[in-house]
Structure 1
Amino acid sequence: MTLQSKTLFITGASRGIGLAIALRAARDGANIVIAAKTVESHPNLPGTIYTAAEEIERAGGKALPLVVDVRDEGSVVRAFDEAVQRFGGIDILVNNASALSLTDTPSTDMKRYDLMQQINVRGTYLCTRTALPYLSRAANPHVLNLAPPLDLDPKWFGPHVAYSIAKFGMSLCTLGQAREFKSLGIAVNSLWPVTTIDTAAVRNKLGDMANSSRNPEIMADAAYAILTKQATEVTGNFFLDEQVLREEGVTDFSSYARHPLAPLTADYFVSDRILDSLPTELVRLPQ
């Protein structure tokens, strides 16, 4: 199975992991709806929906760049309407858009708290709800949330409870909607990285940690492996990128490292039990 002629609606696809997933699908000849807000490049946030569209077209796909605010129901509904008018339907939804603030309670004001809730949890729920009528008519429909495996260990909440609530809220959407949509044949899964990923958010928020990260292409390849599976046979899973690719037969991950000789840093929300089961040596973040 490939993604040829499939239509993917990807939030936050103007850069980073979202764009990498889009480019991987474009190599099959997929249609990509770039649903993001960025129309002008910023020094710390390179790339726009228009530059992303150019890259997707060069990679072999068809692109529809749309200015979308996932917090705004009207904006989301209009985007899906326009996407369906252009491509005839929606086969895959990737809920990638996310806001990040690794701050404790006194340092997280309500504006920042609301932003993370509105983009991460509400945006995921809204986009999935809006996509549902179209996905229910697709041949092999998938929803993929960029969200961590569910884990209520307090160490994931204490340092940045607001962000953790927002990200695990996306995971709860996976848990509930996988069950809810099972009878419709719609797969709902989560994907999360084993290591930190070199994105603009990591560079801006975590600085030098980008040097000990993997490139977004590892998430794109893992997403591709999931999205090309039969939807009725793979739903309700909390996938990790490296585990997915090892199951696909990948054993050499050196090409994904930003700096091949630098030690890799384990991402947040990945349990010690999982990390211990992997052959990859990782530096674990202090809790």
Structure 2
Amino acid sequence: MDLKGKTLFITGASRGVGKAIGLRAARDGANVVIAAKTAEPHPKLPGTIYSAAEEIEAAGGRALPVVTDIRDETSVETAVAKAVERFGGIDVLVNNASAINLAGTLELPLKRFDLLQQVNTRGTYLCTQKCLPHLFNAGNPHVLMLAPPLDMHPRWFRDHPAYTISKYGMSMCVLGMAEEFRDRGVGFNALWPRTLLKTAAVDNLLGGPEVSSRGRYPTIVADAAHWILTRPARECTGNFFIDEQVLRQAGVSDFSRYRVDSDRSEGELQLDLFIRP
């Protein structure tokens, strides 16, 4: 199975993992809606919805860049309406857009707490709610959250409780909605990287190139997402997938092409948050 002719609505697809998922789908000939805020270049984070659209079309897909603030109901409704008008429907929703702040309770301003909850949990809920009426009409509808497996161990809450709460909110959407819409045939799944990923956010805001050199490229998540989104939705729902495990299940055994630093061994890679050794 492939994604040829399918329409993917991807939040935060102007860069990073979201763009990588869009590019992988574009190679199949998919339609990709780039729903993100970056219309003008960011001083530290390269890429806009328009540059991402150019890359997606160069890869073989059709792109629709739409300036979208997933915290705003009207903005999301407008983006969904434009997607349906342009491509005739929506087959896949990828809730990728996310805010991150790893500060502790005393250090995190309330406005930053609100941002985490509004983008991660509320934004995921909002985009899902607005896309579902169109997903019900799709042949193999999927909703994929870039969210971690649920693990109530205190280690994941101790250092950054607000961020963990917001990301687990996305995970709980998977848990609840998979059951809520199981009879409607919509697949709801979560996907999370086993290792740190090299993204502009890591390079510029969360440690720099030395840190990201201990990780993998976002293409590993994109390849895993492609495998999930081409499964029969009625048979593949309610799962908390890890990218490496997905690809092993798909028959991949050599992960060297995903490593940022080819001189590092697999054992030297840094595990991502929410992944136990």
Q: Quickly name the TM-score band, shorter chain normalised.
A: over 0.9
Listed one character per residue, the Cα deviations across residues 11-62 of structure 1 (whole Å, up to 9, x for unaligned) are 0000000000000000000000000000111231000000000000000000
Q: Tell me what 1:261 maps to.
A: 263
- Cα distance between partner residues in 2 of 1:206 and 1:130: 36
Listed one character per residue, the Cα deviations across residues 63-120 of structure 1 (whole Å, up to 9, x for unaligned) are 0000000000000001000100000000000000000011111111111101110000
Matched, 1:2 2:2: yes
Within a 5 Å distance, the mapping from 1:77-96 to structure 2 comes to 77-96=77-96
Q: Tell me what 1:275 maps to.
A: none
Q: Secondary structure at the match of 1:157?
A: helix
- Cα distance between partner residues in 2 of 1:209 and 1:176: 35
- Cα distance between partner residues in 2 of 1:99 and 1:153: 22
Q: Tell me what 1:55 maps to.
A: 55
Q: Secondary structure at the match of 1:9?
A: strand
Matched, 1:239 2:244: no
Within a 5 Å distance, the mapping from 1:89-168 to structure 2 comes to 89-168=89-168
Instruction: Check the 8 A contact 1:64/1:83 in 2, yes or no.
Output: yes
- Cα distance between partner residues in 2 of 1:270 and 1:179: 25
Q: Tell me what 2:43 maps to.
A: 43
- Cα distance between partner residues in 2 of 1:134 and 1:149: 27
Q: CA deviation at 1:205?
A: 1.5
- Cα distance between partner residues in 2 of 1:209 and 1:171: 26
Listed one character per residue, the Cα deviations across residues 177-234 of structure 1 (whole Å, up to 9, x for unaligned) are 0000100000000000000111122221132311101000000000000000000000
- Cα distance between partner residues in 2 of 1:88 and 1:142: 16
Instruction: Check the 8 A contact 1:13/1:96 in 2, yes or no.
Output: yes
Q: Tell me what 1:270 maps to.
A: 275
Instruction: Check the 8 A contact 1:100/1:201 in 2, yes or no.
Output: no
Q: Tell me what 1:30 maps to.
A: 30
Amino acid paired to 1:62: R
- Cα distance between partner residues in 1 of 2:97 and 2:232: 25
Q: Tell me what 1:72 maps to.
A: 72
Amino acid paired to 2:227: A
Name the count of aligned residue pairs.
272
Matched, 1:206 2:207: yes
Amino acid paired to 2:273: Y
Which range moves more in the overlay, 69-78 or 262-271?
262-271
Amino acid paired to 1:241: D
- Cα distance between partner residues in 2 of 1:113 and 1:213: 27
Unaligned runs of 5+ in 2: none
Amino acid paired to 2:117: Q
Instruction: Check the 8 A contact 1:17/1:217 in 2, yes or no.
Output: yes
Q: TM-score, normalised on structure 2?
A: 0.97
- Cα distance between partner residues in 2 of 1:10 and 1:162: 24
Q: Tell me what 1:189 maps to.
A: 189
Instruction: Check the 8 A contact 1:8/1:33 in 2, yes or no.
Output: yes
Within a 5 Å distance, the mapping from 1:211-230 to structure 2 comes to 211-230=213-232
Q: TM-score, normalised on structure 1?
A: 0.94
- Cα distance between partner residues in 2 of 1:142 and 1:230: 9
- Cα distance between partner residues in 2 of 1:90 and 1:271: 35
Q: Tell me what 1:251 maps to.
A: 253
Which range moves more in the overlay, 207-216 or 161-170?
207-216
- Cα distance between partner residues in 1 of 2:199 and 2:108: 22
Listed one character per residue, the Cα deviations across residues 121-161 of structure 1 (whole Å, up to 9, x for unaligned) are 00000000001100001000000000000000000000000
- Cα distance between partner residues in 1 of 2:63 and 2:26: 9
Q: CA deviation at 1:271?
A: 2.3
Q: Secondary structure at the match of 2:35?
A: strand
Amino acid paired to 1:16: G
Amino acid paired to 2:245: Q
